[in-house]
Structure 1
Amino acid sequence: MAALYEGYTLCGLVPDQNLSISGIQGIEEERDSDHVIVTDSTRSVTLYKVSDQKPLGSWTVKQGQHLTCSAVFNLQTKEYVAVSDNKVIRIWKEEDIILDKAFKATVSADVWMVHCARGREPVVIFQRGAVRLLDSLLSAPQQPIEEVLAQEEAIRWSTSVVAETQQIVIFRTDLRGDHFLYLQRLNPNSLQRYRLEGEEPGLSPLSFSASYRDKHICLLCLYPNGRMYQSVISVRGPGADEGAQALLLPRSLVLSLPVGEDLLEAASAMVLDDAHVAVVGVPHPSAGAGKDFLCIWNTNFQTLQAGKEMAGKIYGQLWSYSNKLFIPHGKTLSVIPFACPKSSLAAALGKLRQAKTEESRPPALVPSWNNILHGDAARPPKAVETRKTRATRKTQSTPGLTTDQVLELVKTAPVEEVQKEVEGLLSRHDLHDLQPSLGQLALTLVSRSLADPAFYPPGTLAQLVHTQCLCHSVSPDLLPLALEKKDYFLCQLCLQFFPDIPEAVTCACLKAFISLPDVDAATLSLEPDSVSFMETLILREPGEVGLKNGVSPTSIEEDCSDVVGGQQRGAEDMKKATPPPQEICPVGLHKAALLNEVLQTAYSDTFLLPHLKDLSSQHVVLFLQYLQFLYVQYSENALPPAHSFRSPSLNQVMDWVCMLLDAHFTVLVMTPEVKGLLLKLHNFVSSQVKLFSELGKIEGGLQELNKMKMKKAVGQYSIEVIELF
């Protein structure tokens, strides 16, 4: 299922006085996916390194001059190209400091836009519809430029697409209420003109997006009424004869977004892949009016996959480069990473097994035996530093104490001074180089904390765990110390980032968490994503009753009657007609978030079972009730897409249920108050057995189909009815 991850600010904005324009003309990718150039609406072009969120260079035209189209980067020549005052083409390199001293040429007609497809030569689109390659234009800047458009026709949107071996320029125009689309092919030159189908009277397209796939250009068009249409044009179509009447461009409705009674004013839609589109400025279906969201929709299955509320005004602008969305809102330009896995019915329904993507979980830096034995040759490429790690590090700092001096200082200095020097140490060094010293530093801090009860630096220890350079083997007393101090936030971090926690320590954490009163747990400050996941799970509305993931409330009631027996058929029918009560979480919000961390910890059944037997029967019943709550929520409702990292999977929940039953089977069977719970768990297992039995039948049928002669592919999406005898 598609997901939107934690975003960050690339730069601030200076909107115009009436807040109708963001102050950004365009954003273009530069040398690689981590560099973009941002052109503001007046005079400046700025180069940013996205991962560092800092500018690397900026160029400005003189006072009184204005940039009239967004700058682009020519990857072939390593040059930037922009247009000022409609007719002056400016070209410069990164080392040029003063823009006015760089190359510039004045052309004979007003320029609409310059586009540069990745690795191709820039093309110039003139306001009257003519198109020129940049080199051809600069060879004779004052060459006459023909007028392609009618007298009152004006360009509203344009882009450039590379299709097979040719570059195609696409632009949309308006003419007295009619809308037209032009496809200009280069080398050889040919022009196609299409007329767009009319929408409701007075409605003009809000946004266009173009992509190339399967030898066709796919155009996505969003209207103010929330309707989203797709048009497909073959790249090998014949060029239109000059003066010929425009062809009607066929279209198909792919989405009808919920916009309410009002029309959209500032919204944009962009194609992400063959099944997903990003939409900004459209209300979320379950949110109140007046809130602007960024959403990802699956067009194959008409489902909302992910959503994120954007603070401040939305300007209807959206760019996408290398799985990152760039969105101006309020006074901020934000970068939102996203992921769009391959579209399938399981993913659209939220039943696909969760995958831990690199965006959702930072790369681990714990030492591996492979690196120790084989050195740098076996080390994978250094991962890009995440925003959370960057937030604890400064890009520059003044020279301070050496590592050995900090280690000596930790043995005697007060908590405040220790925290200050450790922060300075982390800001001055590369984590790979500092890794052995961080382990020694953690050992020293833990040893002093155990020896001196008055000394305990929770913030410093949490910061060291966040570096991901530690593991349980390096500092085996760290997690037990956090349990002793009842520092549950540090316990949560250790469970998240330590891959080698022994089963005995995992069970110690489980005992501490499940013994914690809900009143005390509610006061804890925990990792926000884990708490947010439980809030979504507990507070959301119950899903539609029906067969989901092999479980339905009706089938459970039927199974209960089979096991218990003796119920009258009328009473049974009455139960079926009555909707089941909403499942209530048996533990508090924060306590559940801590238990989820235990569920996601790595373990071995053989070593974990003996320690689980030490749990009291009261705690076992409470834990089983919580696992049952998770199972019901997962089975009857799709998982929230934005919490794939901090939520246990359905398989993990079922594995823990099985282990608890194995460890305490005799006690549970002999406890009368647990009888109802065991019957429910029995019905869950029966439902899963039925589901997998049916899946086995489907698998057999699919294997037989696989043996049949393969037919020719029928297109992107089709429905076929096959009878199996």
Structure 2
Amino acid sequence: MAALYEGYTLCGLVPAQNLSHSGIQGIEAERDSDHVVVTDSTRSITLYKVSDQKPLSSWTVKQGQTLTCSAVYNSQTKEYVAVSDSKVIRIWKEEDILLDKVFKATVSSDVWKVHCVPGGEPVVLFQRGAVRLLDSILSAPQQPIEEVLAQEEAIRWSTNIVAESQQFVIFTTEQKGDHFLCLQRLNPNTLQKYRLEREEPGLSPLSFSASYRDKHIRLLYLYPNGHVYQSVVSVRGLGADEGAQALPLPRSLLLGLPVGEGLLEAASALVLDEAHVAVVGVPHPSAGAGKDFLCIWNTNFQTLQAGKEMAGKIYGQLWVFSNKLFIPHGKTLSVIPYECPKSSLASALGKLRQAKTEESKAPASVSSWNNILHGEKAQPSRTVETRKTRPNRKSQSAPSLTFDQLLELIKTAPVEEVQKEVDGLLSRSDIQDLHPLVGQLASTLVSRSLADASFYTPSALAQLVHTQSLCHSVCPDLVLLALERKDYFLCQLCLQFFPDIPEMVTCACLKAFISMPDIDAEAVSLVPDSVSFMETLIAGERGQVGLQNGFSPTSIDEGHSDGTVIKTRAEDKEKTSSPPEQNCPVGLRKAVLLNEVLQTPYSDTYLLPHLKDLSSQHVVLFLQYLQFLYLKYSQDAFPQMHGLRSPSLTQIMDWVCLVLDAHFTVLVMTPEAKSLLMNLHSFVKSQVRLVSELGKIEGSLQELSKMKMKKEVGAYSIEVIELF
């Protein structure tokens, strides 16, 4: 069955004052599946990296100007295209800052929208129905634009798709209650127009969605009475222009959605694949009135497959990119991952079972500690076939539990039996896709562990994390449960494998790790890879300390001109020849756990408030550890262990700056932190100096690359290159 997973917030919204509009004009795909461009309804365009939930760049038009269509990304030229005040086309690159200073062209007719498919050339659709390639418009911006639509006809919706290696612009229009579908082929340039069948008097479609499949363009549209229709047009049947003649377009009823009392006001239906449709703003059949839901319906069998209640007002807007639904609701733009397996009657009824074929005699390997930690092959004892050859175990005579039976067993059975059955499920070869099962298993295990203090299955939870089918959004209480039970090995695994751990949880882990006694930490079993790194770092031979990464410990006090630090020549000589021993301020295993925190993704905006919860004692200790790491990384003799899991120098410096920002006032008032602050100041200053020098080198190399090489160079020549 289709599934909607736990979503996350991409950005906040500023809805219109009457709350009828979300404030978002459009969302378009960018360079890859993890980047989108969001255009608001007034003046701003923002580029987001979806997985990081953070903006990368933002552009705004001047006060008094308005963006009148959503910005698109031209992957061929790596440029953005948008239209302001209906007639001004703006083109810019990511490094541009001010939209007022980028390329602009004013056209002679109002623009409805600019469309661009990945790898294709942008297309301009004018409000009166004319279509032009962007390049042809820019070659002569003031060229006359013909009027394709009738006098009282207006465009309501548009998109573009690639079909049969040709680009089509698809748009719908309305004229005196009649609705039309227009298909504009770009090469050759032909337009075909169709008339949609009328619905009940006074009802107009709320949303449109188009897709291409099996040499046919399929138009999906939703009416306020809950009827979802589909009309199909053959691509090969599109001939020459028929002028103003509109052909009748047959339709078929795909879904009759429940609308309750009255009609839908803000709703949208979006095609996901050949059998699934995402619907927002339509009441859930089993929920009460006044609740807004995002649902996935199976059109083949008329069944509701998945539903998720959305907090706040629904605006009837919905976008889909790379198996993620983007939906504005309330004051939030949320991203909801989804999955739509192949449609069948069994899956629609929730009774799909994977048949075990004769060819699958080879045992399916299971995530084991040896395999995960040391790269060894999984032992055959972890497979279904070998388990069945051990008749001395009483439970092997019984058939394997179904997944639903296992979920019920977890709620009441003892720890040993639960662990055994989870092992059995993970080792079964007849289960092809564990992704939808792992989340339910983990949530059930965590729920019982939170309710029952005597129940906890660390091994089973660790195995589920190792499947890499879990994330924090799917099981949000897992990390906090591990902290509560002091299962630091599981905490380490979650920090390694979860890409979406909230900053609040990251800080909770940091606080737990830094406050843990070293004696307790040394008893913790951790991933050997990360332990090996710290063992080498702490026990490694100290060589001559030189200038690396822009910093040398012998020059810590260099640049202090206030006279607070006075060194004799003898001291300098002694320091240069024999650098001071750098002792790690925390135990080895505590350092390993702190390294995991340093490598966890975060947004500094959300992390800083939670960092303030650390006590001054823990802040000083944490900064001392960061100083230790930096000094070790700055040594020429530092072993480059790229194969081991370790934080980067950039991550270390970022955390230094974050902690200083969060606790600067407290640190200034703490006497024991004075020398530490001075050293950290030197670290940061050395990194700034390093980056500055690297920037100069980069500029010089760029100038060298621009220089034209002489075609005729003798057998012997001397060239002098001057770098400015």
Q: CA deviation at 1:118?
A: 1.6
Q: Indicate the residue corresponding to 1:107 in structure 2.
A: 107
Could you say if the C-alpha distance between residues 38 and 381 of structure 1 is closer, same or farther in structure 2, counting changes exceeding 3 Å? Answer: farther
Q: Indicate the residue corresponding to 1:340 in structure 2.
A: 340
Q: CA deviation at 1:372?
A: 3.4
Cα contact 1:275–1:299 (8 A) shared by 2: yes
| Structure 1 CA distance for aligned equivalents of residues 172 and 183 of structure 2 | 9
| Structure 1 CA distance for aligned equivalents of residues 163 and 372 of structure 2 | 47
Q: Indicate the residue corresponding to 2:181 in structure 1.
A: 181
- Matched to 2:214, the amino acid is D
Q: Indicate the residue corresponding to 2:277 in structure 1.
A: 277
TM-score normalized with structure 2 length:
0.53
- Matched to 1:19, the amino acid is L
| Structure 2 CA distance for aligned equivalents of residues 204 and 160 of structure 1 | 22
Q: Indicate the residue corresponding to 2:147 in structure 1.
A: 147
Cα contact 2:373–2:529 (8 A) shared by 1: no
Cα contact 2:367–2:467 (8 A) shared by 1: no
Q: Indicate the residue corresponding to 2:720 in structure 1.
A: none
Q: CA deviation at 1:412?
A: 7.0
Cα contact 2:471–2:500 (8 A) shared by 1: no
Could you say if the C-alpha distance between residues 436 and 53 of structure 1 is closer, same or farther in structure 2, counting changes exceeding 3 Å? Answer: farther
* Aligned partner (choices 359, 368, 371) of residue 368 of structure 1: 371
Cα contact 1:51–1:384 (8 A) shared by 2: no
| Structure 1 CA distance for aligned equivalents of residues 7 and 354 of structure 2 | 21
Q: Indicate the residue corresponding to 1:263 in structure 2.
A: 263
SS in 2 for 1:316: coil
Q: CA deviation at 1:392?
A: 4.2
| Structure 2 CA distance for aligned equivalents of residues 65 and 10 of structure 1 | 26
Q: What root-mean-square deviation, in Å, do the aligned CA atoms of Structure 1 and Structure 2 show?
A: 3.8
Cα contact 1:44–1:58 (8 A) shared by 2: yes
Cα contact 1:82–1:89 (8 A) shared by 2: yes
Cα contact 1:157–1:208 (8 A) shared by 2: yes
- Matched to 2:230, the amino acid is Q
| Structure 1 CA distance for aligned equivalents of residues 273 and 520 of structure 2 | 58
TM-score normalized with structure 1 length:
0.53
Q: Indicate the residue corresponding to 1:668 in structure 2.
A: none
Does residue 191 (structure 1) correspond to residue 191 (structure 2)? The answer is: yes
Q: CA deviation at 1:382?
A: 10
Q: Indicate the residue corresponding to 1:503 in structure 2.
A: none
Deviations 1:188-237 (A, max 9, x none): 11100011100000000000000000000011010000000000001112
SS in 1 for 2:104: strand
Q: CA deviation at 1:102?
A: 1.1
Q: CA deviation at 1:410?
A: 2.5
Cα contact 1:193–1:240 (8 A) shared by 2: no
Could you say if the C-alpha distance between residues 396 and 307 of structure 1 is closer, same or farther in structure 2, counting changes exceeding 3 Å? Answer: closer
Q: Indicate the residue corresponding to 2:135 in structure 1.
A: 135
| Structure 2 CA distance for aligned equivalents of residues 155 and 295 of structure 1 | 28
Q: CA deviation at 1:364?
A: 7.9
- Matched to 2:59, the amino acid is W
Does residue 70 (structure 1) correspond to residue 178 (structure 2)? The answer is: no
Q: Percent identity?
A: 75
SS in 1 for 2:375: helix
- Matched to 2:350, the amino acid is G
SS in 1 for 2:137: helix
Could you say if the C-alpha distance between residues 200 and 139 of structure 1 is closer, same or farther in structure 2, counting changes exceeding 3 Å? Answer: same
Cα contact 1:203–1:224 (8 A) shared by 2: yes
Q: CA deviation at 1:260?
A: 1.7
- Matched to 1:127, the amino acid is Q
- Matched to 2:347, the amino acid is A
SS in 1 for 2:136: helix
Cα contact 1:71–1:81 (8 A) shared by 2: yes
Cα contact 1:438–1:464 (8 A) shared by 2: no
SS in 2 for 1:368: helix
Could you say if the C-alpha distance between residues 436 and 151 of structure 1 is closer, same or farther in structure 2, counting changes exceeding 3 Å? Answer: farther
| Structure 1 CA distance for aligned equivalents of residues 261 and 41 of structure 2 | 32
Q: Indicate the residue corresponding to 2:557 in structure 1.
A: none
SS in 1 for 2:80: strand
Q: CA deviation at 1:100?
A: 1.3
SS in 2 for 1:228: strand
Cα contact 1:215–1:234 (8 A) shared by 2: yes
Q: CA deviation at 1:104?
A: 1.0
Could you say if the C-alpha distance between residues 147 and 301 of structure 1 is closer, same or farther in structure 2, counting changes exceeding 3 Å? Answer: same
Deviations 1:494-539 (A, max 9, x none): xxxxxxxxxxxxxxxxxxxxxxxxxxxxxxxxxxxxxxxxxxxxxx
Does residue 411 (structure 1) correspond to residue 519 (structure 2)? The answer is: yes
Could you say if the C-alpha distance between residues 83 and 195 of structure 1 is closer, same or farther in structure 2, counting changes exceeding 3 Å? Answer: same
SS in 2 for 1:201: coil
Could you say if the C-alpha distance between residues 223 and 411 of structure 1 is closer, same or farther in structure 2, counting changes exceeding 3 Å? Answer: same
Q: Indicate the residue corresponding to 2:58 in structure 1.
A: 58
Q: CA deviation at 1:385?
A: 7.1
Q: CA deviation at 1:30?
A: 0.6
- Matched to 2:375, the amino acid is I
Could you say if the C-alpha distance between residues 45 and 243 of structure 1 is closer, same or farther in structure 2, counting changes exceeding 3 Å? Answer: same
Could you say if the C-alpha distance between residues 308 and 394 of structure 1 is closer, same or farther in structure 2, counting changes exceeding 3 Å? Answer: closer
Could you say if the C-alpha distance between residues 412 and 232 of structure 1 is closer, same or farther in structure 2, counting changes exceeding 3 Å? Answer: closer
Could you say if the C-alpha distance between residues 350 and 252 of structure 1 is closer, same or farther in structure 2, counting changes exceeding 3 Å? Answer: same
Could you say if the C-alpha distance between residues 408 and 246 of structure 1 is closer, same or farther in structure 2, counting changes exceeding 3 Å? Answer: closer
Cα contact 2:182–2:194 (8 A) shared by 1: yes
SS in 2 for 1:143: coil
Could you say if the C-alpha distance between residues 267 and 432 of structure 1 is closer, same or farther in structure 2, counting changes exceeding 3 Å? Answer: farther
Q: CA deviation at 1:390?
A: 4.9
Could you say if the C-alpha distance between residues 15 and 409 of structure 1 is closer, same or farther in structure 2, counting changes exceeding 3 Å? Answer: same
- Matched to 1:24, the amino acid is I
Q: Indicate the residue corresponding to 1:158 in structure 2.
A: 158
Could you say if the C-alpha distance between residues 311 and 212 of structure 1 is closer, same or farther in structure 2, counting changes exceeding 3 Å? Answer: same
Does residue 91 (structure 1) correspond to residue 94 (structure 2)? The answer is: no
Could you say if the C-alpha distance between residues 365 and 62 of structure 1 is closer, same or farther in structure 2, counting changes exceeding 3 Å? Answer: farther
Q: Indicate the residue corresponding to 2:239 in structure 1.
A: 239
Alignment of 1:504-523 (within 5 A): none
Could you say if the C-alpha distance between residues 291 and 95 of structure 1 is closer, same or farther in structure 2, counting changes exceeding 3 Å? Answer: same
Could you say if the C-alpha distance between residues 433 and 101 of structure 1 is closer, same or farther in structure 2, counting changes exceeding 3 Å? Answer: farther
Could you say if the C-alpha distance between residues 310 and 406 of structure 1 is closer, same or farther in structure 2, counting changes exceeding 3 Å? Answer: closer
| Structure 1 CA distance for aligned equivalents of residues 250 and 125 of structure 2 | 25
Q: CA deviation at 1:307?
A: 0.4
| Structure 2 CA distance for aligned equivalents of residues 16 and 373 of structure 1 | 58
- Matched to 1:309, the amino acid is E
Structure 2, unmatched stretches of 5+, are 356-365, 378-465, 477-497, 537-591, 601-724
Could you say if the C-alpha distance between residues 142 and 333 of structure 1 is closer, same or farther in structure 2, counting changes exceeding 3 Å? Answer: same
SS in 2 for 1:245: coil
| Structure 1 CA distance for aligned equivalents of residues 206 and 48 of structure 2 | 28
| Structure 1 CA distance for aligned equivalents of residues 346 and 222 of structure 2 | 27
Could you say if the C-alpha distance between residues 259 and 369 of structure 1 is closer, same or farther in structure 2, counting changes exceeding 3 Å? Answer: closer
| Structure 2 CA distance for aligned equivalents of residues 191 and 139 of structure 1 | 23
Cα contact 2:230–2:253 (8 A) shared by 1: yes
Q: Indicate the residue corresponding to 2:8 in structure 1.
A: 8
Cα contact 2:190–2:241 (8 A) shared by 1: no
| Structure 2 CA distance for aligned equivalents of residues 191 and 54 of structure 1 | 41
| Structure 2 CA distance for aligned equivalents of residues 99 and 365 of structure 1 | 54
Q: Indicate the residue corresponding to 1:322 in structure 2.
A: 322
Cα contact 1:51–1:385 (8 A) shared by 2: no
Could you say if the C-alpha distance between residues 437 and 345 of structure 1 is closer, same or farther in structure 2, counting changes exceeding 3 Å? Answer: farther
- Matched to 1:253, the amino acid is L
Structure 1, unmatched stretches of 5+, are 356-362, 375-379, 441-459, 469-725
Q: Indicate the residue corresponding to 1:655 in structure 2.
A: none
Alignment of 1:273-312 (within 5 A): 273-312=273-312
Could you say if the C-alpha distance between residues 225 and 382 of structure 1 is closer, same or farther in structure 2, counting changes exceeding 3 Å? Answer: closer
Q: CA deviation at 1:243?
A: 3.2
Q: Indicate the residue corresponding to 1:31 in structure 2.
A: 31
Q: CA deviation at 1:368?
A: 2.3
| Structure 1 CA distance for aligned equivalents of residues 74 and 291 of structure 2 | 39
Deviations 1:357-403 (A, max 9, x none): xxxxxx989662696369xxxxx9999976553554659999x99x9
Could you say if the C-alpha distance between residues 168 and 381 of structure 1 is closer, same or farther in structure 2, counting changes exceeding 3 Å? Answer: farther
